Amino acid sequence: MISLNKVSKKNRGKPKPNSAVSLGGGVDEEFHGTVLSSRSMALSSPKEFFRHYTVVFALIVTIIVFGILRPKTFLALSDIKTILTGQAALFALALTLTVALGAGEIDLSVGGVLGFSSVLIAYLSAVKGLSVELSLLISFVVILAVAAVNSYLIVKIQVNGLITTLAMGTILDGLSQAVSNSSTIGNIPSRILKIMQGRFLGIGLPFWYAVIVGIVIWYVLHHMQSGRFLYFTGEGREAARLAGIRVDRIRTTSLFVSAIGAWFAGFILVGQTGAAQAGTGDPYLLPAYAATFLGAATIKPGRFNPLGTFVAVLLLAVGTTGLQLFGLTDWVTNVFDGAILIVAIGLATLVGR
Amino acid sequence: MTKLALAVEDVTKTFGGTAALNNVSLRVEAGEVHALLGHNGSGKSTLIKVIAGYHRPDSGTIEVNGHAVRYPTSALSLKDFGVSFMHQDIGLVPTLSILENLRVGRLQTGAMRHIRWSNERKTVSRLLSSFGFDLSPDTPVSRLSASERSVIGVVRAFQDVSTGDSSSDRGLVILDEPTAALPEEEKRRLFGVIKQVAARGIGVLLVTHHLEEPLQFADRVSVLRDGRLVASDDISTHNYESLAELVVGGSVEKSVKVSGRNLAEHEEIINVNDLSGLVLDGVSFSVRRGEILGLTGLMGAGHEELPFLLYGAQRPCGGSVSVGGKRFFPDPVRARRQGLAFISGDRIRAGGVLSASIAENVTLPVLESAVGKLRWLRSRQEDSIVQSVLKEFRIKLASPHLPFSTLSGGSQQKALIGRWVGSSPQILLLQEPTAGVDIGASQDIIAILREFATKGGTVIFSSEQYEDVASLSDRVLVFRGGKIVASLSGAEVTTENIVSSSYGKFQTAGT
């Protein structure tokens, strides 16, 4: 559904503008030269380098600007650790969403899934008194069922995915309210808190979990055959199908990945906050999309990629935190996230040209 | 002297040294239905494109309704000249009503720019009933039959040039294969309307493949062959045979065939039994290892469906296929495993992935061989695959890591064929392998496919590029109305035989 076109006009025909086709002989030496130098060629010109690392530069600039304006608070190391820890759920959500978007699927139910899984885990373990393992297992299975319904409708019946997942997210929000009786569930078992509130190198464990998730996704998407097949499915489904790729299976899997990521983000939130309530997932939906789209404009421009997503989440987090240090309150977050999403899509479109 | 709707004078148009149109002069009088015949590559579509203003002629002039056409021309200025086109796909929006489809862009508005729907309805009803149709203007186009849709297309084309006053109507309506999607009995209805359009003083240029149509409905007929106008006569001076003779003529063989391949001892690798598709109607044949089988016919004859059906890209409506003696239920994943590969003629949608890199596209079918420990893709291995494919098939480019879209059409096609040949399939299925690529690339493609067959691979391809079919195939099956009407092999495989059997003239002893 989404495909960012990464045809670059500037790139076309470089370095020899007239070298598109040649049928004559005598091109071999030249030919070897171009093929061997090719991988690095993409980054050779400063323009190209900048094109690949726009978001990284933006991140550095943001840090420098806030660092100059609020040197004491902003550059304090603890703050950076707090940011990383605090954004762990968004990291997990955006990284798994990258998989779904890469396969060409839009999953808007992730906010609802996140909220529902946190409420369900809290309800089963704190209110119903089930063991932590069982609570996690049950909530996990429920979320798998949600993913199964999503993918059945979208892949098998071929319903519009945008609308289906939007509706699914709303259904889950409603169910979260029903389960939590529209109030906050506290008294989360300490074992859950322990899993999520521990620290490693001063940064909360959830961040490290998200990093592991990110590494796995990076490995699969960029260094395995299945990842290549996934991108082909996302960027040219019919061509992929005719090449013998099991596109339906890939699309289904990608929707399961985004749902499981949202479930895990919900789990992180319960552990970090020690409470759960309906609707906690919704504020995560937009930033997750802003981050994935912004990520698609960098590192590997034109493609949803986990490394880009990771950098983009950092930029979002640093930006919001910086603005909040100026005493601007919560509303800033929404304005910032929204603006970033628009900028991200604009950038992706421009970069794609 | 009668008024001329279209006057083409001595138009020449060359593409890279080949003359697509060579001193062509064509006159269409106001009030006549003028048929334009010619097979693919005859220059027919170039002529239409020159009239439509897509191409500027190298020399010669074109006058429409007495006004010289200047280049560049836009669709809007053509409308001012009084020209309108109906393309093969008609271009109606199925979810909108007849009224909306006919009147969009020329709706009358009143105060506050509101649309005067009741006036519009009356206008459309009057227009439809003047052609003998009493359809409600509010009917959605999706509920119309195929023939009704083409009638609406013709009426729209007429309306675009008509002044609304029948005594002063003049203009030119160009219909490009209007009957392509119509069953025989519904064509009459459409031609009734076309005749009426002409009767109102409009010149109608009817571009078609079907020789019966001009004989039944046209006033005059012109035939293009190899870029030259070989006839422009009153229809009464012709019959089916004489037209076929003109269309087929002495088409020149462009490349010399490697003949004398003896395949009789090779085993049969694929057997098709009573296979049916949307058009295809119970065809049976088999193909040997190392054989190149061309499937051809006029557009819509059913040959183009076969590669899709054999690969499982489209579901068959009946019949069976076996590969290597075993029954095979086509489906892309199973087909790949069986050693089939398929290259669709639709390069944009179903060929390479344009946004992915050239390297990624080229290695796709053989990626498995680059998989190393822990399923890690070894990029060096990948690079060497890309390098060998690009080198073997002489595709020149700046960097294989640029998007696939940076390649020219011919290079894209070579890269796609190359990647599949590189995956060493048993059977290579292709649809229109040489369509839309330049002559150099198409010669390369023919050479690649021949080489593949020499090494024992089987090639089955459908094409309407008759010269290419003739120069590439060991055997050709010619289709007509979903059935095989001729099977040509050995010395019988000539462009002339292919074209004449496509038109239903030539019969071999073999069928």
Residue among A22, A28, A38 whose CB faces B399 most closely: A38
Cα–Cα distance, B22 to B27 (Å, whole number): 16
Predicted local distance difference test score (pLDDT) of residue B2: 62
Q: Are B208 and B214 in contact (CB under 8 A)?
A: yes
Q: Is residue B257 part of a domain?
A: no
Q: What is the ipTM of this complex?
A: 0.79
Q: Do B375 and A225 touch (CB under 8 A)?
A: yes
Please, is B68 exposed, middle or buried when counting C-beta atoms within 10 Å of its C-beta (0-12, 13-18, 19+)?
exposed
Higher pLDDT, B69 or B272: B272
pTM over 0.80: no
pLDDT, mean of residues B361-380: 85
Cα–Cα distance, B392 to B394 (Å, whole number): 6
Per-residue exposure over A317-344, b if at least 16 CB sit within 10 Å of its own CB, e if not: bbbbbbbeeeeeeeebbeebbeebbeeb
- Beta strand B483-489 with B202-207: parallel, antiparallel or unpaired? unpaired
Point out the least confidently predicted range of A122-136, A158-172, B18-32, B247-261: B247-261
Q: Which residues contact B443 (CB under 8 A, 6 or more apart)?
A: B255
CATH of the domain at B390: 3.40.50.300
Q: Phi first, then psi: give them for residue A228, nearest 5 degrees.
A: -60, -45
B144 confidence band (pLDDT: 50, 70, 90) = confident
Amino acid at A224: M
B2-29 pLDDT, tens digit each: 678 899 999 998 876 677 888 999 999 9
Please count the other Cβ atoms lying within 10 Å of the Cβ belonging to residue A81. Answer: 16
Helix axes A77-86, A88-102, angle to 10 degrees: 50
Per-residue exposure over B402-418, b if at least 16 CB sit within 10 Å of its own CB, e if not: bbbbbbbbbbbbbbbbb
- Beta strand B340-343 with B59-64: parallel, antiparallel or unpaired? unpaired
Predicted local distance difference test score (pLDDT) of residue B181: 60
Point out the least confidently predicted range of A131-135, A267-271, A303-307, B196-200: B196-200
Predicted local distance difference test score (pLDDT) of residue A266: 96
Residue of B165, B202, B208 lying closest to B187 (CA atoms): B208
pLDDT, mean of residues A126-132: 90
Residue of B70, B450, B387 lying closest to B259 (CA atoms): B450
Residue of B48, B54, B38 lying closest to B85 (CA atoms): B48
pLDDT, mean of residues B258-285: 83
Cα–Cα distance, B251 to B47 (Å, whole number): 19
Percent of chain B with pLDDT over 70: 91
Cα–Cα distance, A185 to A193 (Å, whole number): 14
Residue located via tokens 């006004």: B67
Q: What total number of domains does chain B contain?
A: 3
Tell me the longest C-alpha to C-alpha distance in chain B.
83
A136-156 pLDDT, tens digit each: 999 999 999 999 999 999 999
Amino acid at A90: L
A37-86 pLDDT, tens digit each: 334 444 556 777 777 888 888 888 888 888 888 777 777 766 788 889 99
Predicted local distance difference test score (pLDDT) of residue A330: 73
- Residues B109, B20, single domain; the answer is no
Task: Assess whether pLDDT exceeds 50 at residue A29.
Answer: no
Task: Assess whether pLDDT exceeds 50 at residue A27.
Answer: no
- The listed range with the strongest mean pLDDT (A96-110, B204-218, B409-423) is A96-110
Please identify among residues 9-28 of chain A the ones whose CB lies closer than 8 Å to any CB of chain B: 11-16, 19-23, 27-28
Q: Which residues contact B491 (CB under 8 A, 6 or more apart)?
A: B259
Q: Is residue B253 part of a domain?
A: no
Cα–Cα distance, B31 to A302 (Å, whole number): 55
Residue of B312, B304, B307, B313 lying closest to B328 (CA atoms): B312
Task: Decide which of B86, B109, B135 is a domain's last residue.
Answer: B135
Structure tokens at B65: 């309704």
- Residues B332, B422, single domain; the answer is yes
Predicted local distance difference test score (pLDDT) of residue A353: 53
Helix axes A306-325, A205-223, angle to 10 degrees: 150
Query: Domain limits at B430?
Result: 268-502
Predicted local distance difference test score (pLDDT) of residue B439: 67
B396 three-state secondary structure: coil
Predicted local distance difference test score (pLDDT) of residue B209: 77
Q: Phi first, then psi: give them for residue A93, nearest 5 degrees.
A: -65, -50
Q: Is residue B384 part of a domain?
A: yes
Predicted local distance difference test score (pLDDT) of residue B65: 83
Cα–Cα distance, A231 to A247 (Å, whole number): 10
DSSP label at residue B229 = E
Higher pLDDT, A150 or A330: A150
> CA of A13, closest CA in chain B: separation in Å?
6
Cα–Cα distance, B231 to B75 (Å, whole number): 29
Length of chain A: 353
Q: What would be the CATH architecture of the domain defined by A54-352?
A: Orthogonal Bundle (1.10)
Predicted local distance difference test score (pLDDT) of residue A20: 33
Higher pLDDT, A120 or B127: A120
B396 confidence band (pLDDT: 50, 70, 90) = confident
Task: Assess whether pLDDT exceeds 80 at residue A31.
Answer: no
Q: Distance of CA B170 to CAs B2, B62, B161, B163, B487, Å?
A: 12, 17, 7, 8, 47
Structure tokens at A4: 């960012």
Task: Assess whether pLDDT exceeds 90 at residue A214.
Answer: yes
Task: Assess whether pLDDT exceeds 90 at residue B244.
Answer: no
Cα–Cα distance, B406 to B378 (Å, whole number): 25
Cα–Cα distance, B164 to B143 (Å, whole number): 28
Residue among A32, A226, A228 whose CB faces B360 most closely: A228
pLDDT, mean of residues A273-292: 92
Predicted local distance difference test score (pLDDT) of residue A21: 32
H/E element, B343: strand B340-343
**By CA distance, what is B348's nearest residue in A?**
A239
A8 confidence band (pLDDT: 50, 70, 90) = very low
pLDDT, mean of residues A216-227: 94
Q: Are B293 and B475 in contact (CB under 8 A)?
A: yes
Cα–Cα distance, A333 to A313 (Å, whole number): 13
Higher pLDDT, A348 or A35: A348
Does residue B312 come out as left (phi exceeding 0), alpha (psi in the -120 to 50 range) or beta?
A: left
Q: Which residues contact A39 (CB under 8 A, 6 or more apart)?
A: B379, B383, B401
A326 touches chain B (CB under 8 A): no
- Residues B114, B202, single domain; the answer is no
Which residues in chain B have their CB less than 8 angstroms from residue A352's CB? Answer: 355
Predicted local distance difference test score (pLDDT) of residue B166: 57
B252 confidence band (pLDDT: 50, 70, 90) = very low
Residue located via tokens 């003629």: B345
Cα–Cα distance, B418 to A22 (Å, whole number): 16
Q: Are A164 and A153 in contact (CB under 8 A)?
A: yes
Q: Is residue B508 part of a domain?
A: no
Higher pLDDT, A326 or B361: B361
Higher pLDDT, B300 or B308: B308
- Residues B344, B368, single domain; the answer is yes
DSSP label at residue B239 = -
Residue among A19, A225, A244 whose CB faces B332 most closely: A244
CB pairs under 8 A between A and B: 141
Cα–Cα distance, A170 to A279 (Å, whole number): 10
Task: Assess whether pLDDT exceeds 90 at residue B278.
Answer: no
Percent of chain B with pLDDT over 90: 20
Cα–Cα distance, B495 to B501 (Å, whole number): 10
Task: Assess whether pLDDT exceeds 70 at residue A250.
Answer: yes
Predicted local distance difference test score (pLDDT) of residue A350: 74
Which residues in chain B have their CB less than 8 angstroms from residue A242's CB? Answer: 311, 313, 332, 342, 344, 350
- Can you give the residue ranges of every domain in chain A? 54-352
Predicted local distance difference test score (pLDDT) of residue A77: 64
Predicted local distance difference test score (pLDDT) of residue B428: 94
Does residue B227 come out as left (phi exceeding 0), alpha (psi in the -120 to 50 range) or beta?
A: left
Query: Best interface-test mutation with B: which of A22, A28, A38 has the largest number of B CBs within 10 A?
Result: A38
Task: Assess whether pLDDT exceeds 50 at residue A2.
Answer: no
Please identify among residues 222-281 of chain A the ones whose CB lies closer than 8 Å to any CB of chain B: 223-226, 228, 231-232, 235-236, 238-244, 246
**By CA distance, what is A248's nearest residue in B?**
B333
Residue of B394, B459, B463 lying closest to B433 (CA atoms): B463
Q: Do B364 and A39 touch (CB under 8 A)?
A: no
Predicted local distance difference test score (pLDDT) of residue B17: 67
Predicted local distance difference test score (pLDDT) of residue B325: 86
Q: Distance of CA B502 to CAs B178, B295, B310, B467, B487, Å?
A: 19, 11, 22, 13, 11
- Residues B127, B47, single domain; the answer is no
Please count the other Cβ atoms lying within 10 Å of the Cβ belonging to residue B313. Answer: 21
- Residues B465, B352, single domain; the answer is yes
Q: Which residues contact B383 (CB under 8 A, 6 or more apart)?
A: A35, A36, A39, B359, B400
Point out the least confidently predicted range of A33-47, A208-222, B34-48, B357-371: A33-47
Higher pLDDT, B138 or A118: A118
- Residues B126, B151, single domain; the answer is no
Q: Phi first, then psi: give them for residue B57, nearest 5 degrees.
A: -70, 150
Q: Phi first, then psi: give them for residue B448, nearest 5 degrees.
A: -60, -45
B253 confidence band (pLDDT: 50, 70, 90) = very low
A6 touches chain B (CB under 8 A): yes
B478 three-state secondary structure: strand
Q: Are A247 and A234 in contact (CB under 8 A)?
A: no
pLDDT, mean of residues B326-345: 89
Predicted local distance difference test score (pLDDT) of residue B19: 77
- Residues B283, B203, single domain; the answer is no
Q: Do B394 and A23 touch (CB under 8 A)?
A: yes
Per-residue exposure over B229-256, b if at least 16 CB sit within 10 Å of its own CB, e if not: bbbbeebeebeeebbbbbbbbebeeeee
A141 touches chain B (CB under 8 A): no
Task: Assess whether pLDDT exceeds 80 at residue A34.
Answer: no
pLDDT, mean of residues A290-302: 88
Query: Best interface-test mutation with A: which of B358, B396, B438 has the largest number of A CBs within 10 A?
Result: B396
H/E element, B173: strand B171-176
Which residues in chain A have their CB less than 8 angstroms from residue B332's CB? Answer: 241-244
B466-480 pLDDT, tens digit each: 888 988 999 999 998
B491 three-state secondary structure: helix
Predicted local distance difference test score (pLDDT) of residue B77: 72
Q: Do A240 and B391 touch (CB under 8 A)?
A: no
B183-213 pLDDT, tens digit each: 666 778 888 888 888 888 889 999 887 788 8
Mean per-residue pLDDT over chain B, rounded: 83
Q: Are B57 and B34 in contact (CB under 8 A)?
A: no
Point out the least confidently predicted range of A152-156, A171-175, B68-72, B228-232: B68-72
Handedness of CA A206, A211, A214, A216 (dihedral sign): negative
Predicted local distance difference test score (pLDDT) of residue A176: 95
Length of chain B: 511
B434-459 pLDDT, tens digit each: 877 766 778 888 989 999 999 989 99
- Residues B31, B105, single domain; the answer is no
- Residues B113, B56, single domain; the answer is no
3-state helix, strand, coil in chain A (%, to 5): 75, 0, 25
Q: Which residues contact B96 (CB under 8 A, 6 or more apart)?
A: B104, B140, B141
Predicted local distance difference test score (pLDDT) of residue A36: 35
Q: Do B360 and A21 touch (CB under 8 A)?
A: no
Predicted local distance difference test score (pLDDT) of residue A352: 58
Task: Assess whether pLDDT exceeds 60 at residue A18.
Answer: no
Predicted local distance difference test score (pLDDT) of residue B300: 79
Q: Is residue B318 part of a domain?
A: yes
Predicted local distance difference test score (pLDDT) of residue A30: 34
H/E element, B483: strand B483-489
Q: Are A204 and B325 in contact (CB under 8 A)?
A: no
- Residues B318, B421, single domain; the answer is yes
- Residues B487, B411, single domain; the answer is yes
Q: Distance of CA A87 to CAs A299, A304, A318, B340, B480, Å?
A: 21, 20, 10, 49, 66
